[in-house]
Structure formats: C-alpha cells, structure tokens
Structure 1
C-alpha cells in the first residue's frame, strides 16, 4: 500500500510540475501549488462538500456521506448519486488514502476551523498522496470571503461573486438591523442536538456560531468555553431559555410533552422549534455556507417585527441561487414545518 501511494504521489507531482500551476497561500499560511485548471475536487469534510457543491457542482468528485433519500430531491440530479468517500478532517475521520487517490482529485479542500491540527493533517495527506490540500477559513462572518477565495481557486470567480454578493448583503443587513435592537430584546436560546437534546455547544463553538451572529444569547455559554458537550436537564432548567431550537424533531416533540421540561419559559410560551435540515442543516450540520439561509430563518424567528421580509420567498430564492433547485410548494412547506410560528 505504501509503495502504491509513493508511486502515485511521484507521478502526480511530476504531472503538476509539468503542467501550468500556481502557488497560493491558504488560510493556515501554507504555500500550496495547485493546477491552473481544476476539474475534480475532493472535500475533506461536510462544510467543504457544501462549498464545492454550491460553487462548482460539476467538479465535486463525491460526498463525505452519501445523500439520503430525503436529501436528494433538494440537490441537482447530477450530484445525487455521486460516491461517498468518507471524511478526512474533523472528528471521526473515515476516509483512507487509497480511496482518496482512487478518486483522482486535482485538489483537496477543507473548510472550517483553521488551526495547527488541521494544518498538520493537510501537510500529512498532501505528502502521502501528492495531491494539493488547501485550507479555507469557514467562519460565518467571513462567508463572502470564503466564497470568493474558493471561487478563485476553483476557477469560477463569476459564480463566486454572485453568491458572495448575496452573503455580503445578507450579513450587512443583519448587522445594521441588530444595531437597532435593544439588549433586552435579545432572546436567550438553547440549542439541543440529538434525540434527547442534551448535546449542545459551549461559548465559542462553531456549531453555535450563527446564534451569536444573530445577536442571541447561547445559554449554554454559562457552562464554559469549548465545542460540543453533554449537559443535564438540571442545567437547562437553571438557564431557563425563552427559545429552544431542536436539531431533532423527536427531541422537539418530547420537550413539548414531557412534564419535566414544562417549567421552562420556552415550553410555556410554545417557543420550541425544529431547525430545518434539507439538504443541509440551516443552523448546523454542517457549519458551512448552508447557514446563510439559517440566519434568515433566525431573523424572522427571533425578531419578526424588525425583519419583515417574506421568509418563504427568501427560502425559494436561496435554494435556486445556491443549490440550483426550484422548490415545490410541498417541499417548502416541509422545510418550514415545525420551524416557524404563524406570525413568521
């Protein structure tokens, strides 16, 4: 196996040096030589899959995880049945070097948190395979920049500018309007993952990034700083959120019917909502460019008197622009089921 990797690496590097190439500096400060023309891209993790899909679906070699039957109708037909290679980066890496090489990518892209651990992984994979590996900052506040950088790398700057202009306009409008909202209007929110809802993100967690961007208080920040963690019902009761966001419809249903949750303001005031998730999560899972529609949803959910746009129209526009699919009325209703109040 090692001889196979070494042989492929040598051959690839020879090709790259012979072909037109350019050197870029990625988000980790790494100098990476990439081909001028990129036709096949392998995503190292879920956020990268979304980014490559929205920018250049024809260049996507496959998925980190195969789309489910429920997700496929919200994706372009050409990508629905691409193979799944597993993930290289992040928790629970499942891809192996042999499958990476077999995919024959011109480039590997990872998007999200950039730190020495991810940089070291990129260096290691690039050394083993000979395939250029680029890290891109996936911070939500830098969504427009992320799109432009990736678009330049992938050779689709016009497409990237269109999407980046949307992201820039959305975040500018968000911040302008948030500046007019008094602090005592800002909601206290608990976000629960999984069927029991007892997994959440601490202060600084990328999984709760858009909640902070929306000007809301993550009540779990009281438990400290970090990533995802398990909390207890007793902690949630003490935090007493006025809004609960549930990644799982099962969790949302249990909260509404379980008497042990009944004393929480969010439950008493019917402020328990399911985060939409097709084909990618609006709030999280993955924490990528897909969150741009999530911020529109949060605006309407948390501040309906300030953000008065038509949410249904915004969703249709986003899916057409980013995912290149036209939503049916039934699909739209399904996306928003359990995710919005009648006032939104």
Structure 2
C-alpha cells in the first residue's frame, strides 16, 4: 500500500515509460490540461472509485477493472461480466494500492481520474502521464459538475452522443429539484446531520464532497467549519439538534432510537432517522460519484415530501436501467430502498 507522497517520490526516480503511442487528438480535462488521446480508446484504467463508476455508467466495456473487487450482492445490480472484472487497485484516494507497474501491465489507452482538480492531483496526473506515456485525464468530481464531466468523458472516449444523454439527465435532475425548493429560504430548510460509523459520530463538515447533496437541499448542521470528514462528540450533536439524521451505517440506524444518549435529539424524537440506500453504490456518498443523482431524489423526498410526489420506485428503476444497465426487480428495489447491504 502506498500513499500519494510515496508514489510521487517513486515517480521522480523511476523510468517506466511504456511503448510509444500515436495520438489522434487532444482533449482539455477539468484542470485545463491538453490530454493526448489515441484514435480509439478501448481500455481505461480508473484511478479511483468515482472514476470507475462514471466510466461504467457510460461505457462499461472499456473498464479494465475495479479499484476493489465487487461483492456478489453488488453485482446483482450491474452487468455481471463487467462487475466481475478484476481488482486493479487505486492510484488516488485513501489506501492507494496500484503501483505504476500494475498500471502499465494492464495496457490502458487512458487513465481516468475523477475528483479534486487541485494542484496536488494535477501534479500527480502530470507525473504519471510523463513516466508511463499513458494519457491521464483529470475530471471534475463535484456533484454540480456531473453534466460537464460526462461531456468531457464522451470526448475522451469517443462517446459524445451517449454522454450527452446522461449529461442531460443530470442537468434535468438538478434543475427540477433545485427549482422546486428555490422558494424556501435557506434559514427555513431542515437542519440535517450526516451520521457515519457505528456510533454516528463521524460526519461531513462544510464543503465536504461527502455532504454536497445534503448542503444543496438542507442545512448541514456541521457546516460551520470547512473541510472534509470529521469526528464529533454527542454533546456537539445535542447542541446542533438536527431535524433530520441521514446515515449510511446499518448498526447506527438500528440502535440510535434506543440509545439514551441520542434520545433528546429532535430527529430521533420525531422518528426522522433515515438509512441511505447503498446498493450497488451509496446514494449520498461512498463513493461520491454519479450514483448521487438518484440519491438527490431520495433526499428531496425525505426533506420536502409535499413538493416531490414522484414515485421513488419508478425513479429508481429508471436510473438503474439508464446508468447501471440493469433493470432491477421489485424485490431488488425493496432491498435497495431499505438501505440493506
């Protein structure tokens, strides 16, 4: 297992250039880099989970493998042969496990990274591309940027028309939902706490990619400080006193209502603790990729049921068919909406 600093240091000393390639064009990625692209892209290496999910939704056959092997229960909601492709590790994010020899051995035409476009990640992309000779595209992982990210990916892999369809779905989803809640003043929106971990005391603070959709629709009670994920105390949650709790942890969801420490929290008293769907990918984050589009509908219906009469089951079936290429059965939709693994 290697971290980003170790990888960058290794790159400085390594001479890993792969075979010389002929490039047909260049495409500007989200960092403004001119990425050289071969005439035909047939194999793509995902740098991390958000990239793997994005690519799977648009062109599953191009996906070389997954940052981690999928479980059988996850594969029930995806194309079985693609879902079963091997674990290749990850170049970015927590628990980086793919070294560059692994990347070269996979013989990709393109390395795809989706997430932050900060200087750190630009430097990593430049160095990996320089040392391997493989084009490395860095795309915007922000939720509001999904449509643009699809369009750029479509250019990179020669799937412009297919990418446009998914981009428009993303745009329409955001516009429909945000337009309906626009009349509600920010101070009148529900206070939401995002509970992670079996004790519910890890959360996303202001601006965290993990709570982007929550902050679009409601008031993140932990939003007073900017950053990523943070551990908090139950005393702090009691001060925040959220109206709604959203969690991805089954153990926490099962136990919080009987835990005396949480008994006085408004969301617990009002029975407004909601376990987020997570199959095959989380609806709020985990990982934060295009899987959050269906989660935005789910959150909107939780927070503003009177404004969103749409049938969530129908929305789920449609989303899974479009993005995961498999139409779930009624029983599978029950399983998903219950938040089960």
Report the TM-score, using the length of structure 2 for normalisation.
0.93
Q: Residue 267 of structure 1 aligns with which residue? A: 268
Distance 1:20 1:134, change over 3 A: closer
**Which ranges of 4 or more aligned residues in structure 1 deviate by more than 3 Å?**
182-185
Matches within 5 A, 1:123-272: 123-183=126-186, 185-214=188-217, 216-222=218-224, 224-272=225-273
Mean Cα deviation higher: 306-315 or 174-183:
174-183
Mean Cα deviation higher: 84-93 or 308-317:
84-93
Within 2, Cα distance between the matches of 1:288 and 1:80? 17
Give CA-to-partner distance per residue, 1:228-251, whole Å, 9 cap, x none. Answer: 111111111110001111111111
Give, in angstroms, the shift of residue 92 of structure 1.
2.3
- 1:28 paired with 2:36, answer no
Report the TM-score, using the length of structure 1 for normalisation.
0.92
Contact 2:74 2:280 in 1 (8 A): yes
5+ unaligned residues in a row in structure 2: which ranges? Answer: 1-9
Q: Residue 52 of structure 2 aligns with which residue? A: 49
Q: Residue 342 of structure 1 aligns with which residue? A: none
Instruction: Give the match's secondary structure for 1:42.
Output: strand
Within 2, Cα distance between the matches of 1:278 and 1:114? 28
- 1:91 paired with 2:94, answer yes
Contact 2:46 2:113 in 1 (8 A): yes
Contact 2:18 2:134 in 1 (8 A): no
Within 1, Cα distance between the matches of 2:261 and 2:76? 38
Give, in angstroms, the shift of residue 130 of structure 1.
1.3
Count of residues paired in the alignment: 329
